[in-house]
Amino acid sequence: MLSTTYKAKNNGYFYPILKHASILLFCLLVSGGALFSQNNPQPKKQPEKKEVKNLIQFSGIVLDQDSLTPIPFVAVMIKGTNWGTKSDYNGFFNLVVSPGDEIEFLSLVHKTRSYKIADTLRQKYYYAIQVLTKDTVQLQLVEVFPWPSKEEFKRAFLTLDLSDTDVERADRNLTRDDLSYMERNQPANAALNYKYVLESIYTKVYTTGQQPSINLLNPVKWAQFIDSWKKGKYSSKSSKKN
C-alpha cells in the first residue's frame, strides 16, 4: 500500500493538485493584504503648526498738543486693517497689537498721527502717550433756504397774512386778562426757584448766630423815615398829587 502511494507520487499524479493549491493560497494572501490595507489606511500628514505671533497689549492716552488735555473719542486703528478701538472720555485707550504694526490716531479736529510698533518688541505690555495737533477743517458753503423750490416760495408769499402789525399782535398778547391768568396759573420756573433758594441762603448766612434783623430796630431806617416825614412826603397833599 505504501509502496503504491510512493510510486504514484513519483509518477507525477499529485503535482497538478499541489500546483492549484499553491495558486489558491497566493490569491488568498493577496486579497487579505488588500483588505488589511483598506481597513487600516495610512495616517494623514498633520498640518504644520503656524507660529503664533507675539501679541502685545498696547495702552496709552491721547493728549492735545496746545492744552495737554485728554482728547475723547479718538479712533485708534491698525493701519491696513479694520481692527481698532477708540479712546474713552478721559483719552485712555487699550488695544491688542503685534510687533511691526503701525497704529493710526484719527480725530475730527486734529491731524492724523501714526505710531510704529518695533519689530523687536518682546514684552507683553506697552504704554505710550500720543500728542495730536489741532487741524483747521474748512467746510464747503451750504445755503439753507426755507422753501425747497421757487413755486412753494411763491405760494407761501401770496398766502401770507399781513392784516395785523407787530404792535397789534404785541398788544393782544399783553392784555391784562392774559397776564393775570399767567400770573395765577403759571408755576415758577427753574431760574426763579434757584434765585429764591440763593436769597434764602444769603439771608441765613448774613444773620448766622443771631436773630434775623428787622427794620423796626434799624436806626438808619428810622432816620430816613423822620427825614421824609419832615419834608412832607407823607402828608395828604403829596398823596393827592401822587
Q: CA nearest 134: which of 63, 59, 76, 61?
A: 63
Return the pLDDT at 13.
47
Return the pLDDT at 163.
79
Which set of grid coordinates corresponds to residue 43?
Answer: 495616517
Return the pLDDT at 4.
44
Rounded mean pLDDT of 31-51?
55
Rounded mean pLDDT of 213-237?
79
Adjacency order of strands within the sheet including 92-97? 92-97, 56-64, 125-132
Beta-ladder partners of 85: 76
CA–CA separation, 131 and 110 (whole Å): 10
What does pLDDT average to over the chain? 78
Distance set, CA 92 to CA 48, 69, 74, 96, 107 (Å): 40, 12, 9, 14, 14
Contact 55, 30 (CB under 8 A): no
Degrees, nearest 5: CA angle 107-111-113:
90
Q: Where are the alpha helices (DSSP H) in 70-214?
A: 150-158, 166-173, 176-185, 190-206
Which set of grid coordinates corresponds to residue 163?
Answer: 392784516
1: pLDDT confidence band, cut at 50, 70 and 90?
very low
Contact 117, 99 (CB under 8 A): yes
Rg for the chain, CA atoms, rounded? 52
The alpha carbon dihedral of 183, 184, 190, 192 has a sign of: positive
Contacts of 100 (CB under 8 A, 6+ apart): 117, 118, 119
The segment with the largest mean pLDDT, out of 25-29, 130-134, 149-153, 169-173, is 130-134
User: What would the pLDDT profile of 100-138 be if each residue is shown by its tens digit?
Assistant: 899 999 998 899 999 999 888 888 999 999 999 998 888
Distance set, CA 74 to CA 57, 93, 98 (Å): 18, 9, 21
H or E stretch at 37: helix 15-39
Which set of grid coordinates corresponds to residue 218?
Answer: 434799624
91 CA to centre of own chain? 12
CB atoms within 10 A of CB 165: 9
